[in-house]
Structure formats: structure tokens, C-alpha cells
Amino acid sequence: MGYEMDNILITENQLMQKVKEIGTQIRQDFQDEPLVFIIVLKGAFVFAADLIRVLNGKVMIDFVVASSYGNQTVTTGKVRLLKDIDVNITGKNVVLVEDIIDSGLTLSFLKEHFQLHKPKSMKICTLLDKPERRKVDLKADYVGFVIPDKFIIGYGIDYAEMYRNLPYIATIKEV
Ligand SMILES: O=P(O)(O)OC[C@H]1O[C@H](OP(=O)(O)OP(=O)(O)O)[C@H](O)[C@@H]1O
Ligand code: HPA
Ligand SMILES: [Mg+2]
């Protein structure tokens, strides 16, 4: 038993349009204040690469690597922080950039982790939100698309490390 791509859920054009909208909104909210984007790898790398290029003004970026799914379609429940940030975020406006919030465990772990650094503000920006599967109470400040309870792939997001290269978001089916 395995999985393969099923239907396209969000097209390349829809993604581009939404990324522009989110970028405009963030800049409007912070005006000309400098921002630090913390990008949650691996999944958020494609979304973040597009997002930072539609954002005007001063933007610093850094990366964390967090993993909790492995080769499964359900969370292991254990978030492993494989790489932490290098930049100093104390007193800075921070935006955590994620590809998807599903159970919410990854971001609630990271949010708590970064609050210890005492940033000036911390916002959560996610391309996709799957609220039906939440295990912890977590809300994002910027959400691209609210999606149904289906395992998705593409645009940086994987199943067992595959499919990150797809330019769209698709569902998978069991075969
Ligand atoms: O809300 P949650 O249930 O925690 O799920 C969301 C997280 O799961 C995925 O990461 P994953 O652990 O698959 O690592 P990856 O980014 O390297 O694919 C995704 O990129 C998010 O970081
Ligand atoms: O739907 C998903 N697809 C891929 N990775 C994920 N991590 C959390 N939810 C998902
Ligand atoms: Mg993954």
C-alpha cells in the first residue's frame, strides 16, 4: 500500500495571487518597520522564497528546521528541532513563516520557544490552515487558504520527502 497524487487543490496562479495579497497585508500592518522572517524548514521553503520577494522594505530572514511527520500522514506528536535560528530576535518584529498548520503542535512548540527570546512582536503566517485536525489551540495571524481534512503535497510540502517540487498543491490518495 502506498500513496500517489490525486487532485489539484490550489493552482499555481491561485498561489501566486495569494502570496502577493499576504505580502501586501504584512507590509501594511508593519509600515516601514524592519521585520525578521523565521522560515520553518523544510516545508515552508518555497512559500517563503516567493513571499520575501513580494515584500518591500527591510527584511531579515533566518531558518529553523523542525520535523514531526517522518514518513507518515499523521503527526508523531513529537516535534524535533533540528536547527535553531542564528539571528538575535530580542526586541524585533518576528514573523514565523509556515507552509501548513495541521495539528498545531509544530507552531505551538516554536512559538513558545521563540517567546523566550523576548521579541517586540511575533506573528504567525501560514500558507495553509487545516483547522479540523487541531490538537492544540493555535491561530495564525496571516492565512492563505483554509483547507479540508486531507493530506496534501506540493509547493514545498512533502509526503515521505517526495513531491515538494510540484508547483501546485494537490491531495494524495491511497493506492
Ligand atoms: O501542525 P502540525 O501537525 O505540527 O503540522 C505542520 C508541520 O508539519 C510539516 O512539517 P514536517 O514535520 O513534515 O517536516 P517538513 O517540513 O520537513 O516536511 C509542515 O511543514 C509543518 O511544519
Ligand atoms: O497535509 C499535510 N501534508 C504534508 N505534510 C503535512 N504536515 C502536516 N500536514 C501535512
Ligand atoms: Mg513533511
Q: For atom 18 of ligand 1, which residue has the closest CA? A: 43
- The pLDDT tens digits of the residues spanning 146-164 come to 999 999 999 999 999 999 9
Q: Average pLDDT for residues 104-117, to the nearest whole number?
A: 97
**What is this structure's pTM?**
0.97
What CATH code is carried by the domain that includes residue 125? 3.40.50.2020
Domain count across the chain = 1
Amino acid at 7: N
Lay out the sheet containing 35-41: strands in order across. 80-83, 59-67, 35-41, 93-101, 121-129, 142-146
Ligand that comes closest to the CA of residue 160? 3
Mean pLDDT, rounded, for 119-146: 98
Give the three cell numbers for residue 37. 522572517
- State the residue range of the domain holding 119: 3-174
> Does the active-site annotation cover 137?
no
Q: What is the ipTM of this complex?
A: 0.99
- List pLDDT tens digits, range 45-104: 999 999 999 999 999 999 999 999 989 999 999 999 999 999 999 999 999 999 999 999
Cα–Cα distances in Å, from 39 out to 93, 126, 132?
Answer: 14, 10, 24
Residue with CA closest to ligand 2 atom 3 = 152
Say if residue 1's pLDDT is above 80: no
Helix axes 45-52 and 12-30, enclosed angle (nearest 10):
60
- Distance (Å, whole) CA 104 – CA 117: 21
Residue 167: per-residue pLDDT: 98
As a whole number of angstroms, the distance between CA 92 and CA 95 comes to 10
- Residues near ion ligand 3 (CB < 5 Å) are 69, 158
3-state secondary structure of 120: coil
Task: Name the active-site residue from 50, 99, 102, 129.
Answer: 102
Is 154 a pocket residue for ligand 1 (Cβ < 6 Å)? no
Return left, alpha or beta for 165; rule: phi > 0 is left, psi -120 to 50 is alpha, else beta: alpha
86 class by beta-carbon count within 10 Å (0-12 exposed, 13-18 middle, 19+ buried): exposed
Ligand nearest to the CA of 109: 1
Distance CA 122, CA 140 (A): 11
Q: How far away, in angstroms, is 160 Cα from ligand 1 center?
A: 11
